[in-house]
Structure 1
């Protein structure tokens, strides 16, 4: 790993924008219908439980990346295989985010631009920033979180003053009972994006004040969860639950309802620029985790030497991931529901249990 230091504020900015990602613009949690906001909040609470698992592991192995944890806990060979699976998970998630970004730009503003051109430019920007180092990425995050919050305030203000909000669209509360809410929280909102914070285990050794980790992580988790819950409520209040379900990017449809004095309208750029910021940092983090994992498993000197080759894999993978955007979304939903739980919960929980058992035996051996 490189010699770098990340401050608490920088980590918070990075985590907050990471959590926003694509969840901000897609119909997030809509399987719970009008109660999507509640499913998101419950998913956020489940994300807090996951955090304490990750926090325990970090306290045990403060100077290792996630692939290093796996080898320490499960042994050289099994740990190597689990580390490789995490690398593939990080790589796939990066590919998925890059494709989602390209599809939004293609459908909203750059309809005549080839998808490949958008993806190549986006991946090259990520490669360039990471080549400069993780400190450059986190310093950039400090600047862009201010831009992101400003865009969020402007967007919300314009939607409010345009008078398109219909609170009746959010009623009645618990119309379909608790089952769809809890199912959505368990299978979807807890994993995406809150469980994806497992990627930050790789960055924690860089933190210059480990004592603030709990406060920073939980504050980023809660603030991003509240922001996502608010956005889901806003989309439903403006569009209605049926339109949100049918919409590919409901936040884009919501901002398009703004029409003040027949002059302020077609504000798609707010959503597009917001997604550009959030997905750039999310894809960068997952890409960085992929690179660090490869360096750790294959004992390379540094990650800079493999940035371009892995970047080419990103470009190729994002183009062949799915033939069209609807299948791309379906694959993402299936992956989030049935596969990522192994990486977010099951494997880290096994690491925790094995570590506790080992610590107990070591303690008994010392006492004996």
Structure 2
């Protein structure tokens, strides 16, 4: 593992930007209709459980990399296979997020540009940050965090000032009952974006203080959940639920409705900067996890040596995972959560956590027995 260190504040900032990432661009929970904001809040609450598991594993093995405690819990052979599968998972999700932002740039700014060119430019920037290491990425996140919050507050003020919000579009709440909301929670919002924090098991060993991990993470999840739910509620109250569901990128469609004093309009390009920042942090962290994981697994002394080949693989994968944006969005919202996210984010980490709990209890029981023998 890289011997860099980050602090709890930087962890908090990275989690918030990571969570906002593609979730502002493509809000989860659309299947709940006008109650999507509620599905996001409930998904946020449910997402606290997986995070408790991730940081719990770290607390049991604070000095070890994920590969280290996998060796302890599963044995070397099985842990190698599981680690390799997780590397593939992180690379796949990195490609999906990269495709999200590539499609956004094509739709709103570079209509005649091949998607491979746009995605390649994004990957180059992310690879530069990855090669500089987690400390540089954490500091960059701190600097960019303020810019994202400023853009968000400015956007909300301008939307309110333009008179686009109609609160009646949010009513009636739970018109179809609670079932669609729970369906959205357990098939979408619990996993994207909150369950994706499984990535941070790779980041935790770089912390200089493990005591505040649980508190900082849960506060970050709560803040990001509120911000994503607020964004979803604003989208619905401006566009109405039918238009929001049909829109590929609802937030940018909402921003386009801003018109203040007959001259302040067409601000979607300006607010794309905030979205790109979130995408940069999210893709960079996934690439970092792949690079560190692969270097640990294959015993590469200098992880930066394999950053470029891995970036090229993710770039090619981002182009080939879907033939068009409709197929990409359908796969990401309806297939990936249950068949890929559920086992990687919930089931397998839960199994590891239970094994760690049992092993730790066994160690505690054996210690008094050893003392008595002495």
Q: TM-score range by the shorter chain?
A: over 0.9
| TM-score normalised by the chain length of structure 1 | 0.97
Q: 1:67·1:297 contact (CA, 8 Å) conserved in 2?
A: yes
How large is the Cα RMSD of the aligned pairs? 1.2
Q: 1:16·1:223 contact (CA, 8 Å) conserved in 2?
A: yes
* More divergent stretch after superposition (97-106 vs 128-137): 128-137
| 2:154 alignment partner in structure 1 | 154
Counterparts in 2 of 1:360 and 1:7: CA distance versus 1, 3 Å = closer
| 2:22 alignment partner in structure 1 | 22
Offset of 1:77 from its aligned partner?
Answer: 1.1
Offset of 1:275 from its aligned partner?
Answer: 1.5
| 2:372 alignment partner in structure 1 | none
Alignment partner of 1:58 is 2:48: no
Residue 210 of structure 1 aligns to a residue in which SS? coil
| 1:227 alignment partner in structure 2 | 227
Offset of 1:359 from its aligned partner?
Answer: 2.4
Tell me, in whole angstroms, the C-alpha distance in 1 between the residues paired with 2:111 and 2:286: 28
Q: 2:12·2:216 contact (CA, 8 Å) conserved in 1?
A: yes
1:144-194 alpha-carbon deviations (Å, 9 max, x no partner): 001000100111111000001011100001101011101111111010000
Tell me, in whole angstroms, the C-alpha distance in 1 between the residues paired with 2:300 and 2:337: 31
Offset of 1:340 from its aligned partner?
Answer: 0.7
Tell me, in whole angstroms, the C-alpha distance in 2 between the residues paired with 1:118 and 1:125: 11
1:129-155 alpha-carbon deviations (Å, 9 max, x no partner): 111111111111111001000100111
1:107-149 alpha-carbon deviations (Å, 9 max, x no partner): 0011122211111111111111111111111111111001000
| 1:282 alignment partner in structure 2 | 282
Tell me, in whole angstroms, the C-alpha distance in 2 between the residues paired with 1:64 and 1:285: 19
Offset of 1:30 from its aligned partner?
Answer: 1.3
| TM-score normalised by the chain length of structure 2 | 0.96
* More divergent stretch after superposition (168-177 vs 4-13): 4-13
How many positions carry a matched residue from both structures? 368
Instruction: Specify every segment of 5 or more residues in structure 1 that has no aligned partner in the other structure, as ranges.
Output: none
Offset of 1:82 from its aligned partner?
Answer: 1.0
Tell me, in whole angstroms, the C-alpha distance in 2 between the residues paired with 1:69 and 1:247: 44
Residue 78 of structure 1 aligns to a residue in which SS? helix
Residue 211 of structure 2 aligns to a residue in which SS? helix
Offset of 1:202 from its aligned partner?
Answer: 0.8
Alignment partner of 1:320 is 2:320: yes
| 2:338 alignment partner in structure 1 | 337
| 1:305 alignment partner in structure 2 | 305
* More divergent stretch after superposition (152-161 vs 336-345): 336-345
* More divergent stretch after superposition (102-111 vs 267-276): 267-276
1:36-89 alpha-carbon deviations (Å, 9 max, x no partner): 111111111111111211121011111223333322211111111111111011
Tell me, in whole angstroms, the C-alpha distance in 2 between the residues paired with 1:26 and 1:250: 7
Offset of 1:292 from its aligned partner?
Answer: 1.0
Tell me, in whole angstroms, the C-alpha distance in 1 between the residues paired with 2:340 and 2:165: 37
Q: 1:169·1:240 contact (CA, 8 Å) conserved in 2?
A: yes
Residue 11 of structure 1 aligns to a residue in which SS? helix
Offset of 1:206 from its aligned partner?
Answer: 1.3
| 2:356 alignment partner in structure 1 | 355
Q: 1:64·1:202 contact (CA, 8 Å) conserved in 2?
A: no
Offset of 1:9 from its aligned partner?
Answer: 1.6
Offset of 1:288 from its aligned partner?
Answer: 0.6
Tell me, in whole angstroms, the C-alpha distance in 2 between the residues paired with 1:28 and 1:270: 23
* More divergent stretch after superposition (90-99 vs 18-27): 18-27
